[in-house]
Structure 1
Amino acid sequence: MTFASPHLLYLLLALPILIGLRWWSGQRAQSIVSGMTAPRLREQLVTRLPSGQAWGIFVLQLLALTCFIITIAQPRWGEDKTVQMESGRNVIIAIDTSRSMLSNDITPDRLTRARLAAQDLLATLTSDRVGLIAFAGNAYLQAPLTTDHEAVIEAIQSLDFTSVPRGGSDLGKALKLAMETFEKSPARNHGLILFSDGGEPNEQIRELAQQATKKNILVLTVGVGTDAGSLIPDPDPERQGDYIRDRQGNVVKTKLESTVLQEIATTTRGRYLKLGSQPLAASVVRELLSALQAQTNEAKQLVKPIERFQWPLSMGVLLLMTAWFIRSSPRARRMAPALALLSLGLSEPNASAAGFDWNHKIASIFSSQEADPEKAEEALKNGNHKLAADLFGKLLDDHPADTVRYRYAQALGYSSHQIKDYDRSVGAFSDALESPEAEVQEQAHQGLAHSLYDQGDRVLAKQPKFTLKAWRDSVKHFDAALKLDPENKELEENRDFVKKRLEELQKQMDQQEQQGNKGQKGDKQKGQKGEKGEEGDEEGEDGDPNGQGKGNKDRSRKESLGKQKGEKEEKEDLPEGQIQAGDEGKQDEPGEGKEQAQMAEEGEETNDATGFSRNEARAFLRTYADDHKKAQLVRPRDPAPNGKDW
């Protein structure tokens, strides 16, 4: 016999204490009665049970308590074995991860758009076995055929242009690997969904497509990109703003080459679709894959322990009833039938078969109310940003429809930014960027720009390298927001302010790197000089006339980024999710400012075990991840077969 919660059995250690207390209380009662009544009148004045009967009732109650403790520990004995059968089709998703997929002729870029479309397709393949292939100059199986779609989604999300260390877009390698994978399955036909921006047709691809047709493999090809095409941004962080070049140093422009994709689809009796800014037509994919034969296999054997909590629970109730009968109380006798029915109801065999979870039942009594969109919006409107962030987070955990999901993510990002949880804010605004609505995208870019700036500013003293990256990303999102709203002067000023601080920080770090330890003092002076705009703010607050001019100009920009403390300014009504001007000097609702300040202090509190605060630890982890990513970027790549490493 085993227990689901064996730690609760420690409660049995309290039984000897109860026995001692019972003996002590009996002795004390005896001495009190002896002191207050004469021996000859004691029997007429004091009504009590005989000592043996009283102790018998106590022992029965103690045994009942023991049974109840064993009940909440959830005893389990025996196993219920069931075989789960799976029926579904075999479908492999192949995604081109070559560097040409970094082109941003469709937003945000081809590879990201392909990954999102592949995840959307998984929602239509609920009971099917799905595999994943990443290919460029070579092809690798990232996930075998499985019904564990969560694992496939994780594999899709991890794909980037470093997944295959060889350039090019060899569609033949993807077809060959898919056929080898399908050969291990007994199904008679299979499906392959291939995302790529195309390539050059050749005889080998035609032969492989014909072989796929003979093996009853239906190929759905998806062209990613536009016919006009665009330049390919260089992913190397050391060459920000540059583009990928060929061996002669010329900038490479890539466009969708759909001829070979259409040829593969026609040969295999599949279909060619084009992926643009709109999602794939799920109905078309379902109609095409409906021709595939479903295969039934024994998936796995489930072993489930049988709950036996009803045994000690029934025994405890019966012991309690017996104790009440011994006491010979009419009231106890009247309650006995009800307790007997309760005992029978709890000891039904169906309770075991249903897999009753005692802890779950107890927790459900105290469970909090589910998140309500109206309550979340009301909390946001009233300025209770902590509650709003919690409620919108719960709403997103329920996987709402896309029509409201992006709005929830936008509101979560705004609320998290207001309570200075910049990590959560960045993640929420990133989710909102997936929205097809231009207005939501523009506000999400603004929110990301502000959050990234504040995120970097918070760790500037200890993690300047991370700050540098965060501010670069902030400028990128400001630029993206300005493309969608070019007339927004406030955005332009904020962008210029961040660029200025970024240039000063970059210059300071370059000087420190060149001068080494001997130049630390000089670098510090230059770093202080670089903060001249902020010094002007402080002087202006003190009433110094010299605090005007350049310092005031920077202060207005800093206020719009939410960084100036103690300043009051009338704010315009901004769309939901947009970061407003700094309001730390504003009189908040009772308890709200204190709560937000407390949360900020918790993030800056140093952990004695590690020597870092929570925010510093996060920054270090991000820096490590960036260094690891950079190591992948600079590692030697295998030469492309045709010399085109894109």
Structure 2
Amino acid sequence: MEFANKEYLLLLLLLIPYLLWYFFRRKGSEPTMRMADTYVYEYAPKSWRMRLIHLPMLLRCLTYALVVMVLARPQTDTPSGADYSNGINIMLAMDVSTSMLSQDVAPNRMEVAKDVANEFISARPSDNIGLTIFAGEAFTQCPMTTDHASLLNLLQNVNTDLASHGLIEDGTAIGMGLANAVNRLKDIKAKSKVVILLTDGSNNKIEISPMTAAEIAKKFGIRVYTIGLGTDKNPNVPNQMVGEIDYKTLQDIARTTNGEFYRAQSRQELSQIYKDIDKLEKAKISGGSFGRRYEAYMPFALLALFSFLMEIVFRIAVFKRIP
């Protein structure tokens, strides 16, 4: 058991001066009676009232102590420690530029990428998985988590509206997308750390080059699996200029980080790629599921109420004093 407000326990020290005051005051205020001889009372048995004369005071102290403990907020928890599972740490980095609306992979690249990623996540319930999305800029859609229900919900909300509506800059910032994913993985203490980077274009932003991000990933022991999604056909994306996939850069990223490069020209190929990645060696990870704490003040509060009522009963009915 732990106390959320430990500082309140210092109030228990006030019991010391109270007890000193109680006994000194009692000693100085006890009634006296003159008698010629007290021999007859020397061996007289004490009644139970005399033996329990200090009970009301003890109950009062107990009530006070219990109230202080309630204020200190006692808490209990389930056995603490990480929930270790047989899995790996995976960060999905997904391109959401407007070119992902191309219908060469029916119904379009974006929907296929989301559906296959959904299947992949659902098939790995013990893994710690997160999601980064990028166009001309990159940001984390979902941090690393084992709460796959929340992750899948956020994945379903991913679309190209951010870029097409100008909420973020359009384009293909592969380097920034990879760097964002690496940043989420770099501090995790685990042997298996993986980024699955999916894009349908070439890097056209210079803030962070793809190879610089790849070198950073290599430094932190992160393998990067790159996927080029799309066919060589002219993509059907109205009013948009779509660049060709930079296969060489994707291959170099994978080679630098000891990963693999894949090319997907259909839903079936993309699904098979994720199945191949699904065969990665598994290692124990921390799922971040620690013991939960629960408020435990109620037993102390009920006991304090009972003690208070008992003091009143004893003081009024049993130890009532006549002036």
Structure 1's 102 and 301: CA in aligned 2 closer, same or farther, altered over 3 A?
same
Question: What root-mean-square deviation, in Å, do the aligned CA atoms of Structure 1 and Structure 2 show?
Answer: 2.7
Query: How much has 1:198 moved relative to structure 2?
Result: 2.9
Given candidates 154, 176, 181, the residue that maps to 2:179 is 176
- Provide TM-score, normalisation by structure 2: 0.59
Name the structure 2 match of 1:206. 211
Q: In 2, distance between residues paired with 1:138 and 1:256? A: 18
Q: Does 1:225 align with 2:230?
A: yes
Checking the alignment, whether the CA contact within 8 Å between 1:198 and 1:259 is kept in structure 2 is no
Name the structure 1 match of 2:84. 86
Query: How much has 1:200 moved relative to structure 2?
Result: 4.2
Question: What code does the residue aligned with 1:280 have?
Answer: S
Q: In 2, distance between residues paired with 1:296 and 1:259? A: 35
Name the structure 2 match of 1:388. none
Question: What aligned pairs does 1:517-528 form with structure 2 within 5 A after superposition?
Answer: none
Aligned residues with identical type, % of pairs = 28
Checking the alignment, whether the CA contact within 8 Å between 1:230 and 1:255 is kept in structure 2 is no
Name the structure 1 match of 2:271. 280
Q: Does 1:157 align with 2:161?
A: no
Checking the alignment, whether the CA contact within 8 Å between 1:197 and 1:258 is kept in structure 2 is no
Q: In 2, distance between residues paired with 1:297 and 1:210? A: 27
Structure 1's 227 and 294: CA in aligned 2 closer, same or farther, altered over 3 A?
farther
CA deviations over 1:570-599 (Å, ceiling 9, x no partner): xxxxxxxxxxxxxxxxxxxxxxxxxxxxxx
DSSP-derived class of the 1:301 partner:
coil
Q: In 2, distance between residues paired with 1:297 and 1:142? A: 19
DSSP-derived class of the 1:274 partner:
strand
More helix by share: 1
Checking the alignment, whether the CA contact within 8 Å between 2:182 and 2:195 is kept in structure 1 is no
Name the structure 2 match of 1:258. 247
Name the structure 2 match of 1:244. 239
Q: Does 1:300 align with 2:305?
A: no
CA deviations over 1:273-328 (Å, ceiling 9, x no partner): 223131422441122x31x64323551224689xxxxxxxxxxxxxxxxxxxxxxx
Question: What aligned pairs does 1:580-619 form with structure 2 within 5 A after superposition?
Answer: none
DSSP-derived class of the 1:280 partner:
helix
Question: What code does the residue aligned with 1:132 have?
Answer: L
Name the structure 2 match of 1:600. none
Question: What aligned pairs does 1:271-350 form with structure 2 within 5 A after superposition?
Answer: 271-275=260-264, 276-278=266-268, 279-281=270-272, 282-287=274-279, 289-290=280-281, 293-296=283-286, 299-302=289-292
Question: What code does the residue aligned with 1:81 have?
Answer: T
Checking the alignment, whether the CA contact within 8 Å between 2:120 and 2:278 is kept in structure 1 is no
Name the structure 2 match of 1:482. none
Q: In 2, distance between residues paired with 1:188 and 1:253? A: 38
Q: In 2, distance between residues paired with 1:107 and 1:244? A: 19
Q: In 1, distance between residues paired with 2:287 and 2:145? A: 12
Checking the alignment, whether the CA contact within 8 Å between 2:133 and 2:139 is kept in structure 1 is yes
Query: How much has 1:147 moved relative to structure 2?
Result: 0.1
More strand by share: 2
Checking the alignment, whether the CA contact within 8 Å between 1:189 and 1:215 is kept in structure 2 is no
Give the number of equivalent residue pairs. Answer: 211
* Deviating 4+ runs (over 4 angstroms): 200-203, 302-305
Q: In 2, distance between residues paired with 1:129 and 1:162? A: 27
Query: How much has 1:230 moved relative to structure 2?
Result: 1.4
Q: In 1, distance between residues paired with 2:76 and 2:190? A: 33
Query: How much has 1:111 moved relative to structure 2?
Result: 0.8
Q: In 2, distance between residues paired with 1:208 and 1:294? A: 26
Checking the alignment, whether the CA contact within 8 Å between 1:190 and 1:218 is kept in structure 2 is yes
CA deviations over 1:418-445 (Å, ceiling 9, x no partner): xxxxxxxxxxxxxxxxxxxxxxxxxxxx
Checking the alignment, whether the CA contact within 8 Å between 2:91 and 2:129 is kept in structure 1 is yes
Structure 1's 174 and 302: CA in aligned 2 closer, same or farther, altered over 3 A?
same
DSSP-derived class of the 1:221 partner:
strand
Question: What aligned pairs does 1:53-452 form with structure 2 within 5 A after superposition?
Answer: 81-83=78-80, 85-87=83-85, 88-163=87-162, 165-200=168-203, 204-232=209-237, 243-245=238-240, 252-275=241-264, 276-278=266-268, 279-281=270-272, 282-287=274-279, 289-290=280-281, 293-296=283-286, 299-302=289-292
Name the structure 2 match of 1:46. none
Query: How much has 1:254 moved relative to structure 2?
Result: 4.6
CA deviations over 1:341-387 (Å, ceiling 9, x no partner): xxxxxxxxxxxxxxxxxxxxxxxxxxxxxxxxxxxxxxxxxxxxxxx
Structure 1's 163 and 300: CA in aligned 2 closer, same or farther, altered over 3 A?
farther
Checking the alignment, whether the CA contact within 8 Å between 1:132 and 1:141 is kept in structure 2 is yes
Q: In 2, distance between residues paired with 1:105 and 1:85? A: 43
CA deviations over 1:223-265 (Å, ceiling 9, x no partner): 1110223131xxxxxxxxxx214xxxxxx35544423222211
Checking the alignment, whether the CA contact within 8 Å between 2:226 and 2:260 is kept in structure 1 is yes
